[in-house]
Amino acid sequence: MLTNSLQSLDVAHHIHPITNLRRLERQGPIVIDRGQGIYVYDDEGREYIEAMAGLWSVGLGFGEQRLVDAATKQLEKLPYYHVFSQKAHAPSALLAAKLTELAPAGLEHVFFTNSGAEANDSVVKFVWYYNNAIGRPEKKKFLARDGGYHGITVAAGSLTGLQTNQKGFDLPLPFVRHLSRPHFYRAGLPGETEEAFTERLLKELEDTILAEGPETVAAFIGEPVMGAGGVLVPPKGYWAGVQEICRKYDVLVVADEVINGFGRLGTMFGCETLGIEPDILVCSKQITSSYQPLAAVLMKDFIYQAMADASEKLGVFGHGYTTGAHPVSTAVALENLAIIEERDLVARSKELGAYMHAGLAKFADHPHVGEIRGIGLIAAVELVADKATKAKFEPFGKVGLRFFDHAHEHGLIVRGIGDSIAFCPPMIITEAEIDEMLRRFKATLDDITAWIAAGMPDA
């Protein structure tokens, strides 16, 4: 229901992403006016715990003055300059060096974009460019996973394994092959052990490479822990096996750290938690705590060297973005990373993550809680119609959407992924604030449980 002129203007003129546009017209948006710490406030003064850190991204919370000051200082000195045609500026050069210091070993070169989607789109082009440069023009296919999220550009949207982001857009394009999602709770067969499930997934990977022809398969891309696909933690041995098979067939390993990176899992990068040694790593979101748009592609030297040789042969490396490596964004990122290190937020994320998961575990016996999963300060609670059989609600997603909507009434912003409720709070959250977040979650869950018992009425 539209209650003010700003809502009316927004509905009349603003096309929202990842939104049912007709539903938006009927109900109007919640207009967020300001934020402080883990809280945001709408334009009518209502308070919400932002339990999703915006879009998995505001690591330092809202209102961090040092980031505001870093942006202001850079705006006053050099508000914009590009890095085309052999130009550079201090913030981007310093940030590139800092990222190679923090990242898994061997990632020595950095390319900046404005978003994770642009970064993954760039990865596709870089891998194609690399294979052309070394005389393998047929090695161009990517392997991704059902449930994976890698962005919404034409190429990145093809890597994504979520049909809601592809239906109606003629995606995915045919250069991508999607494999099964590594979710034992949902995809494990009756009587199958987790180890056997892992072996089945790895066999699928190798069989797919062989069926497509190893000479045509260029790269495997995956999030260490899937985010938008439902906060899916892979089974033991999965990533080790994936890497072994990829190395066997000379397939590059691309780690999408857009959600996992900069402390979210309790390590600087999710690769450390899951034992991944990537050839290419993509990061964004918490790189600036989303105070400014920025993403980066990190790559190993052998890829860069082939690309550099090709650029000399062709006369130019013909790829880039007007605002890539923006001086304000990179200056904010440098300050953001400095704060993460100074406040030891990576270790704090691990500690607070354990506290949050212990609190969520108290809901394990609830008749509609099927699985609680996650690592560090990211989690999901999957709601089911029948606990014993894992039966989903019909229609699927109705309960999750109802929970998402109703949580606002209790001052809580979460995300409904199907019927899974996701949490990804700012890394500055305290134990007391986690307790309050879970209290509001329980209040919402109690209301939703009563609504389910009443037959899930639409009204």
Intrachain domains 31-63+344-453 and 66-342 with the same fold:
no
Q: Strands 295-300, 107-113: parallel, antiparallel or unpaired by DSSP? A: antiparallel
Backbone angles phi, psi at 344, to 5 degrees: 50, 45
Residues 448 and 349: their CA atoms lie apart, in Å, by 30
Q: In what order do the strands lie in the sheet with 32-36?
A: 32-36, 39-42, 47-50, 412-413
User: Angle at CA 453, nearest 5°, toward 447 and 458?
Assistant: 75
Instruction: Work out the burial of residue 285: count CB atoms within 10 Å of its CB; fewer than 13 is exposed, 13-18 middle, 19 or more buried.
Output: buried
Global pTM value: 0.96
Instruction: Work out the burial of residue 317: count CB atoms within 10 Å of its CB; fewer than 13 is exposed, 13-18 middle, 19 or more buried.
Output: middle
Q: Is 293 helix (H, G, I), strand (E, B) or coil?
A: coil
* Token couple for 242: 């994936």
Asked whether 21 and 27 are in contact (CB, 8 A), the reply is: no
Asked whether 68 and 80 are in contact (CB, 8 A), the reply is: no
Residue in the block written with tokens 């909507």: 405
Fold annotation for 31-63+344-453: Aspartate Aminotransferase, domain 1 (3.90.1150)
Q: Which residues pair with 226 in a beta bridge?
A: 232
Q: What is the pLDDT of residue 459?
A: 65
Cβ neighbour number for residue 189 with a 10 Å cutoff: 10
Residues 119 and 93: their CA atoms lie apart, in Å, by 18
- Angle of helix 345-361 relative to helix 431-453, nearest 10 degrees? 30
* Token couple for 275: 């034992």
Residues 205 and 239: their CA atoms lie apart, in Å, by 12
* Token couple for 375: 């690592």
Q: Is 394 helix (H, G, I), strand (E, B) or coil?
A: coil
* Token couple for 157: 């949207």
Query: Tens digit of pLDDT per residue, the chain (459 long)?
Result: 566 789 999 999 999 999 999 999 999 999 999 999 999 999 999 999 999 999 999 999 999 999 999 999 999 999 999 999 999 999 999 999 999 999 999 999 999 999 999 999 999 999 999 999 999 999 999 999 999 999 999 999 999 999 999 999 999 999 999 999 999 999 999 999 999 999 999 999 999 999 999 999 999 999 999 999 999 999 999 999 999 999 999 999 999 999 999 999 999 999 999 999 999 999 999 999 999 999 999 999 999 999 999 999 999 999 999 999 999 999 999 999 999 999 999 999 999 999 999 999 999 999 999 999 999 999 999 999 999 999 999 999 999 999 999 999 999 999 999 999 999 999 999 999 999 999 999 999 999 999 999 999 996
Enumerate the domain spans of the chain: 31-63+344-453, 66-342
CATH 3.40.640.10 fits 66-342, yes or no: yes
Rg (Cα) of the chain, in Å, rounded? 22
Q: What is the pLDDT of residue 3?
A: 64
